[in-house]
Amino acid sequence: MQDNILRKGINPRTRAQQLQDLIQFKGISHYEGPESENHTALPCPGELLVEEHHSNYGEPWAGGRDVFEFLAESSHLSPNSRVLEIGCGTLRVGLHFIRYLGPEHYHCLERDELSLMSAFRYELPSQGLLQKRPLIVRGEDMDFAKFGSRVVYDLIYASAVFLHMPGKLVWVGLERLVSKLKPYDGRIFVSHNMKFCSRLGGEECTKRLTSLGLEYLGKHTHDSLLFNHYEIWFEFRRSKA
């Protein structure tokens, strides 16, 4: 078998070199004609076209697929399911949910404007997913009002989000989310740790969850391309109708 050695393609360029070309030629060069007319302007910033945003949350970008497969299987999702992601970033995972789910069935709350620009101006158009009409809202402080009062989700998940937030704000968010989670069958998955709860102590943590109508179901691990080691997820469900 031939060794798998990386070969140079027809025009091997680094991201930085590609971006410099796009800036220098003001987009797509036509070579001929007056300088004011010899190029086609870019449909979005050059930084997006060379996919610099793929490094914003760590690479490889392909790691989003294994997170999607784990969550979809663990939650027994179907294309008719509804999913809310808290902190979808540049849609590394979200793209897979959007592609799988029915139109308008994927929602996300994201606070970072640059990540949202990457999602709307590059990722969704380039993947042909605009027709899926995902509802992606800029916001913070765990305010989910813009998603409507009647929507009920089969899966709500936060990947590496809650560990960066004050515990008090996480509890505010959970209180607001309980009524939006499908009773018994719906799932909340939180990655990495659940210090917002464990800091209170086991008994107090359980008591606090119970008061909200939530039940902790256990810890899961799966191999993750994103971190080169297994990833930890904590599972919750709504225990009251």
**Which of 38-42, 160-164, 173-177, 220-224 has the largest mean confidence?**
173-177
The full set of domains in the chain, from first to last, is: 15-42 (no CATH), 56-238 (3.40.50.150)
In tens, the pLDDT along 104-137 reads 999 999 998 888 888 888 889 888 999 999 999 9
User: What's the pTM?
Assistant: 0.81
Q: Copy the structure tokens of residue 13.
A: 């360029």
Q: Say which residues have a Cβ less than 8 Å from residue 76's Cβ, sequence separation at least 6.
A: 185
CB 155 within 8 A of CB 71: yes
Whole-number Å distance between alpha carbons of 161 and 199: 17
Q: Using only C-alpha atoms, what is the Rg of the chain?
A: 21
In tens, the pLDDT along 157-204 reads 998 888 888 889 999 999 999 999 999 999 999 988 888 888 888 789
Whole-number Å distance between alpha carbons of 137 and 146: 8
CB atoms near residue 76 (< 10 Å)? 11
CB atoms near residue 209 (< 10 Å)? 20
Q: Minimal CA–CA distance to 71: which of 62, 81, 59, 58?
A: 81
